[in-house]
Structure 1
Amino acid sequence: MTVKRPANPLALALLGLLLEQPMHPHAMAAALRERQLDLTFKLTTGSLYDTVRALARDGWTEATDTEQVGGRPARTVYRLTPQGRRSFAAWLDELIREPAQEYPKFLSALGYLGALGPERAAQALRERAAALQDRIDRGDLAYRAARQEHGAPRLFVIEAEYAGAMLRAEQQWVLSAAEEIERGTLAWPEASADA
């Protein structure tokens, strides 16, 4: 039997959380935000609940219990099914082994950098580098909190290490390109020099 793969990549994060322990959707959202995975996965209340329902409908997860705190509505707790655990592992194996063609907007925009003109392009790149530094700082803070304050094993936050490395590499490249533009060592077409 072929298991239907979740359409929303948020399912990866939810399944990963359920691999650690059963939880209700509200706790899932809180954990994703705490680990700053809401920067990696588009997280809205609607997408979260739709994905939770889809995972249960397709047999990846199942409701196990309800929790009620005070006068709040009862919350359904979910866990991975044995089939969900196997399917999740197979999906992860494929995603890690096989590089997928992705279509980042920044890469697309770089193809037309010349349209900005040198001064504006350098300014835009430097502004991006500053924004990347902010993300790096927030990610480092969250990583340290997860490791030191919450005692998360490195393996549970290894994606944060990778994300930080990618942000640092991008920032280094962006700053290098801005410096080349400012030094005049990156050739600029005459037609776009005054944009």
Structure 2
Amino acid sequence: MTKRKVSNPLALAVLALLAERPMHPYEMSSTLRERAKEESIKLNYGSLYSVVESLRRHGLIDVRETIREGRRPERTVYAITENGRFELVDWMSELLSVPVKEYTQFEAALTLIPVINPDDVQRLLETRLIRLDAEIATVGGVMDEMARRGMPYLWAIEADYVRALRRAEREFVRDLAEKIRNGTLEGVDLWRRAHEGGELPSEEDWMRASEHLRRVK
């Protein structure tokens, strides 16, 4: 991936907004919230100001004007520069075309899963399934409501992506929980005995157990 002068996803959202029209930071924030973009891009007002200043410092946006509305404080309106437009298109092109390694919390939990008793893991995964089903239903309801209001699918495309990810995760979690329950998960017997004995096996123990299973099969 290209090393960006400003790499925060919020910066990408700011560039996209300013590609539409000049805005001041408060308008950027309210527009992102109105469009529910905080569901996909972490947003808080303090970090937005820092991102805007960083983009300005690197010549990707510039000050268009300073305005005052009634008794409100002055607000600085920003506009995207030509360099900013190039950065926006280049950055978006890379994100859409190049898969990257993303470190998710669930993946971190899976790689450390032997520290929890397998029966407890099974119950926790079944709880996760309930929550995944609820999330999938919620996203589906939002998409149905948007369609009912005549909003184009393009406006909900990130929600559909999230739903697809959750559906795939649900199938994985359901399969893993079932394999633990019925004892067909490779290594589950060693995993269970380790917790019954009160001492987790080393990586070498796991490797020897796996090699033994392969010879038996």
TM bucket, shorter chain: 0.7 to 0.9
AA of the residue aligned to 2:58: D
| Shift in alpha-carbon separation, 1:61–1:67, aligned structure 2, 3 A | same
Contact 1:118 1:193 in 2 (8 A): no
Structure 2 Cα separation of the partners of residues 133 and 34 of structure 1: 26
Query: 99-108 or 139-148: which moved more?
Result: 139-148
Where structure 2 has 5 or more consecutive residues not aligned to the other structure, the ranges are: 199-217
Shift of 1:134: 4.2
1:38 aligns with 38
Structure 1 Cα separation of the partners of residues 145 and 43 of structure 2: 21
1:117 aligns with 117
| Shift in alpha-carbon separation, 1:110–1:194, aligned structure 2, 3 A | farther
Divergent runs of 4+, >6 A: none
Structure 1 vs Structure 2 CA RMSD? 2.9
Where structure 1 has 5 or more consecutive residues not aligned to the other structure, the ranges are: none
Shift of 1:105: 2.2
Structure 2 length normalisation: TM-score? Answer: 0.72
2:59 aligned with 1:56: no
Contact 1:66 1:75 in 2 (8 A): yes
Structure 1 Cα separation of the partners of residues 108 and 68 of structure 2: 48
**How many equivalent residue pairs?**
192
Structure 1 length normalisation: TM-score? Answer: 0.79
| Shift in alpha-carbon separation, 1:35–1:142, aligned structure 2, 3 A | farther
Structure 2 Cα separation of the partners of residues 177 and 171 of structure 1: 10
1:26 aligns with 26
Structure 2 Cα separation of the partners of residues 19 and 147 of structure 1: 26
Shift of 1:6: 0.9
2:72 aligned with 1:72: yes
Structure 2 Cα separation of the partners of residues 35 and 179 of structure 1: 39
Shift of 1:85: 1.0
Shift of 1:43: 1.8
1:85-111 residue CA offsets vs partner (Å, 9 max, x unmatched)? 111101111222222222222112101
Structure 2 SS opposite 1:5: coil
Structure 1 Cα separation of the partners of residues 72 and 145 of structure 2: 29
AA of the residue aligned to 1:180: K
Contact 1:139 1:164 in 2 (8 A): yes
1:143-194 residue CA offsets vs partner (Å, 9 max, x unmatched)? 455555484x433442232222112211222222223223333241221368
| Shift in alpha-carbon separation, 1:90–1:135, aligned structure 2, 3 A | same
Q: Percent of pairs identical after alignment?
A: 38
1:100-149 residue CA offsets vs partner (Å, 9 max, x unmatched)? 22222211210122221122112222233333344434444554555554
User: What aligned pairs does 1:1-195 form with structure 2 within 5 A after superposition?
Assistant: 5-66=5-66, 68-144=68-144, 149=149, 151=151, 153-187=152-186, 188=188, 189=191, 190-192=193-195
Structure 2 SS opposite 1:15: helix
Contact 1:117 1:194 in 2 (8 A): no
Which protein has the larger Cα radius of gyration, Structure 1 or Structure 2?
2
